Amino acid sequence: MTTPLIYIGLRSIVLILSGLIGLHSVLASDELSLPSRAGSMRISLPSHERILIATVLAHPDRYQMREIRLTGTIRAMQTEIITNRMICGSAHERTTLLIEDDSGQIEILDQGACGKNVGALKAPMLKTGQPIDLLVQIMLPTSLGSSGSSVEATIRYIDLVRE
């Protein structure tokens, strides 16, 4: 009599564990964050609508926490070493790019090893004057008294413009 109860108990545990594993895999496959999990695989940037820099700067709230495509030419770049290990656990490079299209200019950040650039091409590999295609995440600063740029754009993917 106890053997069937043990068998039923073990079977229930196996079913519960398999259900938890299945639930975990469903939760881990959030479709909205697919580009950030692409590793160094190639992302199809043409599948994203190209947004003009002036449009982003004029209406940044429309793009808050969204990934958008920008295309432009690198006008300036600066790479610095961030030694504060509190930020992401180790020293890393942070590169700021000034990107320009026909409508305006915007600063774009690449956080190096602490960032979310999932492509093989990294900002320090680029040169001033190069035309590039970018997938960036737009964030608006939350501080009320902040002056200066009202938009923070962080690189998610970089590609060279193909002629």
Same domain, 56 and 84: yes
Same domain, 13 and 77: no
Overall pTM surpassing 0.75 (yes/no): no
Kindly state whether residues 100 and 135 are assigned to the same domain. yes
Task: Say yes or no: 13 and 87 in one domain.
Answer: no
Same domain, 134 and 149: yes
Domain with residue 113: its CATH number is 2.40.50.140
| Cα end-to-end span (Å), the chain | 77
145 and 85 both lie in a single domain: yes
Q: Do both 15 and 64 map to the same domain?
A: no
Question: What's the pLDDT at 51?
Answer: 93
pLDDT digits (tens, 9 = 90+) for 93-120: 889 999 999 999 999 999 887 878 888 8
The residue segments making up the domain with residue 32 are 2-36
The residue that leads in pLDDT, 146 or 139, is: 139
Specify whether 29 is located in the same domain as 76. no
Which residues share a beta bridge with 38?
none
For residues 149 and 129, is the Cβ–Cβ distance under 8 A?
no
Task: Convert the pLDDT of each residue in 60-96 to its tens digit.
Answer: 999 999 999 999 999 999 999 888 767 677 778 889 9
Instruction: Please tell me whether residues 99 and 69 are part of one structural domain.
Output: yes
Number of domains making up the chain: 2
Kindly state the average pLDDT of the residues 50-67: 93
> Do the beta carbons of residue 118 and residue 35 sit within 8 Å?
yes
